[in-house]
A and B are shown apart, each in its own frame.
Chain A
């Protein structure tokens, strides 16, 4: 069964460093998303991406964040200068363009720890 994959599973970085979180969505999917879950809190929407541009972003997704689909398979989230409060689990998701349900399939997540 096709699935969304994410690398790395755990990333540790120093405050102020840049990090890139990588995701490989399901191959025939066209909509891509990033969500964040701070430890002990709920999952929050960050950004959605379609046709090589951002469809919607939340207030969390400020200028320090960017997303890119550099090739036909990867979808990345970059944080330019990490802060302590960026420590969280980051989930990638994808969905296909069909009418009706458009279920999002979530990856296993990348745990980002900022020291």
Chain B
């Protein structure tokens, strides 16, 4: 069965500092990988996704993520964090192709940004 591990429950960074959120997945075939962001009381917004091709994917709001098959990782990065980036971030993996997919989410990492 597919699974996602986000080892960091809570991360605090200073505004302007770089950010890396870790994500490891378990899936038997080529995964479809996602990062979502959720502000308090809000829905899920897709930051970026990986399906195939270039292993470094660019997303919205200046985020990027790198797929490393050898490490089963899909870490999210941002070179300079803004106060508005404070939110909860979910890594997710989907199985299936050409139609139905079931998305499995990680437990999330809460990002706090300090001045």
A contact set with B: CB distance below 8 Å:
30-31, 33, 35, 41-45, 48, 50, 55-56, 91, 93, 95, 97-109, 111
| Partner of A101 from B32, B102, B104 at Cβ < 8 Å | B32
- The 0/1 profile, CB within 8 Å of A marked 1, for residues 46-87 of chain B is 100101100000000000000000000000000000000000
| Partner of A102 from B41, B92, B97, B104 at Cβ < 8 Å | B97
- The 0/1 profile, CB within 8 Å of A marked 1, for residues 11-35 of chain B is 0000000000000000000001010
- With A91-B44, A103-B49, A106-B43 in contact, do A42 and B107 touch (Cβ < 8 Å)? yes
CA distance A104 to B34 in the complex (A): 10
5 cross-chain CB contacts under 8 A: A42-B105, A42-B106, A104-B94, A106-B43, A107-B43
Contact A91 B43, beta carbon cutoff 8 Å? yes
Q: Which residues of B contact A91 (CB under 8 A)?
A: 43-44
Contact A106 B44, beta carbon cutoff 8 Å? yes
Nearest CB of B to A112, in Å: 14
Q: Which residues of A contact B46 (CB under 8 A)?
A: 103, 105-106
Contact A45 B103, beta carbon cutoff 8 Å? yes
CA distance A73 to B97 in the complex (A): 24
Nearest CB of B to A51, in Å: 10
Contact A100 B43, beta carbon cutoff 8 Å? no
Contact B98 A50, beta carbon cutoff 8 Å? no
Does B99 lie at the interface of the complex (its beta carbon under 8 Å from any beta carbon of A)?
Answer: yes
Known: A100-B52, A103-B46, A111-B41. 14 other contacts (CB 8 A): A31-B101, A33-B102, A41-B107, A42-B105, A42-B107, A43-B92, A45-B102, A99-B97, A100-B51, A101-B32, A102-B96, A103-B34, A106-B44, A109-B42
Q: Which residues of B contact A48 (CB under 8 A)?
A: 100-102
CA distance A98 to B36 in the complex (A): 22
Q: Which residues of A contact B42 (CB under 8 A)?
A: 108-109
